[in-house]
Structure 1
Amino acid sequence: MGRVSLTRLLGWLSIAVVATITFFVSACSSADAVDDAGRLRIVATTSIVGDVAAQIGGDSVYLSIFLPIGIDPHTFDPTPQDVATLSAAEIVFINGVELEAFIEPLLDNIEATVVIVAVSEGLELIEFGDHSGNDADPHVWLDPNNVIYWTEIIERVLSQHNPTNAEQYATNAAAYRAELDSLDDWIETELEPLEPHQRKLVTDHASLAYFAHRYNFEIVGSIVPGYSSIAEPSAQDLAELQDAILELNAKAIFVGSTVNHTLAARLAEDTGIQLVALYTGSLSKPDGPAGTYLDYMQYNVEAIKAALQ
């Protein structure tokens, strides 16, 4: 395990104290999990998971998004105040696959009073290199078919906790699944003009594996050799990637909107290819180009197609 800064360690200690206090308060009143309108209080760790939960829960849930819009989940430091958001919920929907490692201490403290649901649990995961076990790519949502799987889990869990609205959840989930099916068909049609030699992706970190697998792209490489954007590449890693870009005639480096672009910009300049921003770990603000998951995928597909044609 890497070194932890003193500031971060003190932060986690203060969070642990607050979490302990909040545990006892939450245990005394299970009614806190429902708001004044009788809606389930639910938390989603990311804006992407939250949007899917909102499509299914509709007006019968009170939804909070834990991770602020535009923040990299790999680098986010929660504050003691964030504990109250988690502890006031009845259900916390997380992506899983170690994406939420940044709040594991919080989840450990609230586990006895709040139901924690990993929406990606049970999916077939893509692993990094020759590794196995926990070294799996958490960016499962880049394939809409995996999000369809999420809808089944979210519908089931909401129905278990609020049977009165189960029929509405089922209706909402079915309608949203139809939209996701249509999205998947649209992506295939939209990308059809790209020839095999054009379907080569270079990324800032390993975030597009599920997209590449679903839509027949080749991952040339990533600047950060792993699924976390906070890892650091070696000089040899960068040299090998530069050689691969030139050899395979890659057209662009795709970078996430929430990560630092310095290394990617330097590599793009050295190889003479363009730098293209995508939304990866977060939606945009509601009035932005990727305010919903459907908009997010459409924006990314159009950006990828335009860069590679």
Structure 2
Amino acid sequence: MLSPLARTLSSAALIVLFAAGCGGSDKPSSSDPASDPARPLKVVATTTQVADFARNVGGDRVSVHQLLRPNVDPHDYEPSPADMQAISEADVLVKNGVGLEKWLDETISAAGFDGPVVDASQGIQIRKGDGSEEEAGDPHIWHNPLNVKTMVATIEKGFAAADPDDAAAYQANRATYDAKLDALDGEIAKKLESVPADRRKLVTNHDAFGYYLDRYKLTFVGSIIPSFDTSAELSAKQVSDLVAKIKTTGVAAIFSEASLPPKTAEAIGREAGVTVVAGEDALYGDSLGPEGSAGATYLQMEEHNTDTIVNALRGTSA
């Protein structure tokens, strides 16, 4: 019996093969971008975050196809025929790594892609796993801007290896983005320092902000979903324990996430007697938001998250 993902991949792969067969021999090869200097490097990026990083590093020298849509949980991804086609024609594929894209190897194989895969997590100190199936460790590495500097450096190297003629441009773009990341890091630290130390405590939808908490010295009290994986659920006892912990630690608010339903968080908030931050103020955890939202880019996402956290913990309105 094929899994739902395997069935989806099989159908999408057949469509791609049919399209390739109908296209004749006029389709240009994507295996050697240097053979056509006018053609942008074809990049497939898995998550919304690494796609944003790829665009910043690549600039106008890359064409980025993003697999995951805004506010879509990475665990819920199913490839479309367009995704399979893009993967099959890519010069470079960029992934987050740390086991976040569990579906990727199977998808790459079905698409027939044999080009370079850039693992953006290389060189980053990974937080330990939470005891669930996320054995590779905490994959939410982007919630520390200094980690992102390492990620974009890795992406830059991958682009330069695939397209040596534009290596200087990739390096310059990365340096420009690094400066923005340094500024963001300083801004986040300054804002969070304005929160009294005894109020720097977080309860979130799921355990997605560990790198952020470590970097800026906040205390993680607990999460509505007891795992890095959003498919996990709290037991009745765990709900009761979390409510008790919220009450005894004096947590000021529970933070919902834009890509997850707030229903359980709101129920726990009512029982614990604390504010639940949801709706337009919800944090961006696993995904960037759509164009025009407060989390449309990585820089906007982290600024929005920080402002939301600071306002809620200080008890002030946005």
1:158 aligns with 2:159: yes
Q: Which amino acid aligns with 1:307?
A: A
Give the C-alpha shift of residue 260 in structure 1.
1.9
Q: Quick one: distance in 2 between partners of 1:10 and 1:50?
A: 26
The letter of the residue matching 2:250 is N
- Whether the 8 Å CA contact 1:15–1:106 is kept in 2: the answer is no
Structure 2 CA distance, aligned partners of 1:130 and 1:288? 34
Structure 1 gaps, min length 5: none
Offset of 1:90 from its aligned partner? Answer: 0.9
In structure 2, do the counterparts of structure 1 residues 232 and 54 end up closer, same or farther at CA, with 3 Å as the change threshold? same
Matched residue count: 305
Matches within 5 A, 1:218-297: 218-276=219-277, 277-297=282-302
C-alpha distance 19-183 of structure 1, shift in aligned 2 (>3 A)? same
Distance 1:16 1:31, change over 3 A: closer
Who is 2:30 aligned against? 32
Gaps of 5+ in 2: none
Normalising by structure 1, we get a TM-score of 0.90
Distance 1:111-1:239 versus aligned 2 partners, 3 A rule: farther
Describe the shift of the 1:112–1:204 C-alpha distance in structure 2 as closer, same or farther (beyond 3 A): same
3-state SS of 1:237 partner: helix
Q: Map 1:67-216 to 2 at 5 A.
A: 67-110=68-111, 113-129=114-130, 134-216=135-217
2:239 & 2:37 partners in 1: Cα distance? Answer: 55
Provide the alpha-carbon RMSD of the alignment: 2.6
Q: Aligned with 1:99: secondary structure?
A: coil
User: Aligned partner of 2:290: which letter?
Assistant: K
Shift of 1:291: 1.7
After superposition, the Cα gap between the structure-2 partners of 1:245 and 1:25, relative to the gap in structure 1 and judged at 3 Å, is farther
The separation in 2 between residues aligned to 1:9 and 1:219, in whole angstroms, is 37
Give 1:302 deviation, angstroms.
0.2
3-state SS, counterpart of residue 101 of structure 1: coil
1:220 corresponds to which letter in structure 2? V
Superposition deviation, residue 14 in structure 1 = 2.5
Deviation (angstroms), 1:167: 0.8
Distance 1:244 1:86, change over 3 A: same
Match for 1:76: what amino acid? Y
**Structure 1 residue 21, shift from structure 2 partner:** 6.9
Taking the aligned partners of 1:258 and 1:100, their CA distance within structure 2 comes to 17
Question: Are the structure 2 counterparts of residues 131 and 67 from structure 1 closer, same or farther at C-alpha, using a change threshold of 3 Å?
Answer: closer
The Cα shift of 1:244 comes to 0.7
User: What CA deviation, in whole Å up to 9, does each residue of 1:258-292 have, x standing for no partner?
Assistant: 11222111111111212221011222222221221
Contact 1:23 1:113 (8 Å CA) reproduced: no
Contact kept? 1:94, 1:100, Cα under 8 Å:
yes
Checking the alignment, whether the CA contact within 8 Å between 1:201 and 1:253 is kept in structure 2 is: yes
1:45 aligns with 2:46: yes
Tell me how far 1:82 sits from its aligned partner: 2.2
Q: Measure the CA separation in 1 of the matches of 2:85 and 2:11.
A: 13
Give the CA deviation at 1:308.
0.4
Measure the CA separation in 2 of the matches of 1:124 and 1:137. 10
Asked whether the 8 Å contact 1:187–1:301 carries over to 2, the reply is yes
